[in-house]
Structures are given as C-alpha cells and as structure tokens.
Structure 1
C-alpha cells in the first residue's frame, strides 16, 4: 500500500498538523513551514521544532514534507523577483531541514511570455543558486508538474527533465519530483486508460527517472482532459474518476510511496473528507 497522507493546517503550531494526521490515522503529511502568500517568515524557534518532532513521533508518521510559497517564481525574467524567489526557497529548505522534513515541493515557475526555453533555463539557473545557498542541507527540492495555466512551466513532463539536466551535476543529488494527478490530467495526460497512464509515467521516467519521484499529489480534477484548469476534486468525484486512481492503487511501483491529498477539508455528514478519500482509494485495490 502507498503511504496515505494529506496537506494539513499548521495553524497554532506545526505540531497541530502532526496531531491531526495521527487522528486521521495517516502515515504521511504535507505542511507549509511559513505563510504561502507572504515572503516573510516567522522565526523557527526551538519550541516549535521540539513540539513538531514530538508530535511527529507520537503520530507514527513515516513521511513528512512541505510545500513552498506560491510567490516563488524561478522562471521569471524579472531580476528582482528572481532574487526574492531564490532567497525565499533557500529559507524554505533551511526550515524543512530544521524540522527534519524529507523535502520541499515547489512549482517550476512562469516564464511570463519570455518563452518556454528561456524560462526553463532561468529556472534551472535559479535552482542551482538555491542549492548553492542551502549547501549542507539534506532535504530534497522537488519540482511539481503543473496544469499549465497561463505561462506556467511544468505542464509537459519533459520540462522537469530539462530543468534537472541543466542544473550542475554536483548539485542534482537533492533534486526530485512530485507528480500531481490533477495537474497531469488537466495538462493532457489521460490517466483513465492504460495507454495514457503508461505514457505519463514513461515520459516521467525518460525525463528525470522514476528514482527521482519523491511523492504524488493524489487529487481528482474538476477540469476536463487538457483543460489546463488547476482545480482539485475529491477522489472519484471529478473527471479522472475511479479508473485512473485504480491504476495508481494497483501499480506495485508505488508501494510505500507517499500519496498526498490536497482536496477540500470540510467534513461530509461528520466524516472528514481525508478519511473518505483514503477509503475510496483503498477500495480501488479490490
């Protein structure tokens, strides 16, 4: 079985996300280590890290990662935004290391009409700068595929490979990828049938190697195939439906891989949606 997890709130302290994961009987969790819509970060105190570590152990979590700020844009042609993005990501990695997280998920960025090739080269150079600044750390920097809204890079899985390949080899050890099912489907990868499913992971393997696949964001899609719409839906309730997730759940390559839900959190009839989504995924193995 995969390691089921969810992106959970850290309101009131990082430990609250670990506590909630324990209550939901999850094996994995994703968090923000700072506000995802602000550049500034509150100091990471010893009390915060100690309480997180204790709660993480008490919950029996087997995997924990963070998601970087949405403000970060590695592919920007704006020098000021590039510098802010590099500095912010270096801090994200440092905070993740302090919390003992496995890695930080981040989007490749938007080329803002400078062109895909220019944007990919810019993203690789910015990421190399990040890794130089965060030298000495161990947590991974994981590039996430995108739905391809606007001028966002990463909708084609080859983009991820182009970025990784352009980062100096001595810095690539910390690079990985996070595969988002909603984003892939919205970008045109049809996970509902065997051919489309195999195409997606064959392309990912050719681009970066499946050994760099650190985790999956497991979300259904409100938008249709190739819609470029980044809107997550509960498992089996969207356009991917049970068919695509049954393929994921019966693929032995993902045993012990973290499956992170990023779906809406409100309960249904008093039952947490995270619980319902995990049960739906588990039912697809039969």
Structure 2
C-alpha cells in the first residue's frame, strides 16, 4: 500500500505534529524536530519525547520522517560551517532515536566551486563520522538535488559515489524528489522519460534503496537546475506526469 503524507509543523509541541498529520488524513508525515532556519536548538525534553511517541503509536501513522535543517552543508570546506554541519547531523540522528523516528532526510550540500570530487569526499567523511558517533537504528536518506550550481547529489552518479564510500551502508537509503530530479534533467513528465529515469536510477543506485518520495511539481523547465516547487499537477511535470508516477508499480511497493 502506498502511504501518503505531508510535511507538518511542530508549532506548540512535537506531539502536535501527529495531531496535524492525523487531522489531514495522512498515512505518514515529515517534520523538522527544531527551527530549521537557525543553528541553535534545545535538547528534547524527555516528557515531550514520551508524549510524541505515545501519540504516534496511538495514531497508527507510520513512518514518521525527520528532515535536516536548512543551514548545514555537508560538502563545505569552510571550517566553521563544517563543524556546525557535522554536529547538526549527529544531533538530528540522536533526536530521531529519542523520538522513535526511523528516517532522517538530508541534502548533500554544495562544494562552493572546489569541485564535485572534493565535495563528495567531504560528504562521505561527514556521514561516516555521524554514523560512527550515533549508535542507533535510524536510517539516513540521501535526497537528490536539482542541479543548482556547485551542488552535490543532482546526478545519480554523484549519489552512487557517495554511497560507495559509506562504511555502514545498511544505514543509508534514498529520498527521491520529483521536482529536483526534473530540474537536474530527468524527464518525469512523459511515460518514456519516467521509464528511462527509473531504469537509470536502478542501474546506478538500486530502486530498492528508495524509502521515501517527495512528490513536488516544479516551476522550472527540464534541466534548468531550478529548485522551485509547484503544486502537484500545476507545474512542468503536470497532472498526467504525476498520474503515471503515482500508478507506477515500482513506486507503489
């Protein structure tokens, strides 16, 4: 069965996110466990964590997903940002464990002109460091990006190169974002394009690694590198494109 959900706010309390997702008729949901636009955060109160887990179990919603904040850049060469980014990744893996959230989604970052190989090596090192530091069962989902300048992870080959360098590969999965894929040049608007994209993905990465799909239409054109979401069916992928995506047997497993 396909489980469908949305990103919901944690305003008021973490437990409120469960109520919002349930009220919206979701099967699953995604959150930020903290303010995504800043570096500072508070530790999760044990009582808040217990209430979140209780509400989650009672709701029947599964799985819950956490997304990394916006500021971290795992590919950065800036020493200050590198330390902060890696500390945030470690903290989010720990927070997911505390909350009983099985998946954490992360972007791979930007190399700031130092080259894709250098950026990829930094991402690998950051992920290995985090997974070694946090001993829990949380799976880190690497999200494909839209092909913006100096980005790491827009091409399937890039992501494959990162995964090859990860020591604990059993704790790595993938989040496939449709808007990002289209921006990176993978045509999801046509039947032929969808098949070609999924076949290429399977060849380089393995479709079995997809644990989450971010369904977003796009304001950008094919291969534009633009990461601008549009309501489903109202962008360049279009209503027919999403009908094919949602009915595809590979993505319905």
The worse-fitting range, judged by mean Cα deviation, of 147-156 and 181-190 is 147-156
- Per chain length, whose mean CA-contact separation is higher, i.e. which structure has more relative contact order (CA < 8 Å, sep 6+)? 1
1:175 corresponds to 2:172 = yes
Structure 1: gaps spanning 5 or more residues: 257-286
1:182 to partner: Cα distance: 0.5
What does residue 151 of structure 2 align with? 152
1:45 corresponds to 2:41 = no
Structure 2 distance, partners of 1:83, 1:252, is 42
1:5 corresponds to 2:5 = yes
What does residue 202 of structure 1 align with? 199
Q: From 202, 227, 232, give the equivalent of 1:230.
A: 227
Matches within 5 A, 1:243-282: 243-255=240-252
Structure 2 distance, partners of 1:47, 1:151, is 42
What does residue 127 of structure 1 align with? 127
Residue deviations 1:65-86 (CA, integer Å, cap 9, x gap): 1000111111112232222211
Contact map agreement 1:21 1:59 (CA 8 A) in 2: no
1:221 corresponds to 2:223 = no
What does residue 104 of structure 1 align with? 104
1:215 to partner: Cα distance: 0.3
TM-score, L = length of structure 1 = 0.85
Structure 1 distance, partners of 2:14, 2:148, is 31
1:90 to partner: Cα distance: 0.5
1:73 corresponds to 2:70 = no
1:90 corresponds to 2:87 = no
The worse-fitting range, judged by mean Cα deviation, of 238-247 and 5-14 is 238-247
1:16 to partner: Cα distance: 1.1
CA RMSD of aligned residues (A): 1.3
The worse-fitting range, judged by mean Cα deviation, of 49-58 and 106-115 is 49-58
Contact map agreement 2:107 2:143 (CA 8 A) in 1: yes
Residue deviations 1:105-159 (CA, integer Å, cap 9, x gap): 000010100011111111111111111111x211111110011222111111211
What does residue 280 of structure 1 align with? none
Structure 1 distance, partners of 2:33, 2:205, is 27
SS in 1 for 2:142: strand
The worse-fitting range, judged by mean Cα deviation, of 247-256 and 23-32 is 247-256
**Alignment: residue pair count:** 253
SS in 2 for 1:29: strand
Structure 1 distance, partners of 2:79, 2:204, is 28
Contact map agreement 1:162 1:207 (CA 8 A) in 2: no
Q: Would you identify which runs of 4 or more consecutive aligned residues in structure 1 move more than 3 Å? A: none
SS in 2 for 1:142: strand
1:190 corresponds to 2:164 = no
1:22 to partner: Cα distance: 0.8
Contact map agreement 2:189 2:236 (CA 8 A) in 1: no
SS in 2 for 1:3: coil
TM-score, L = length of structure 2 = 0.96
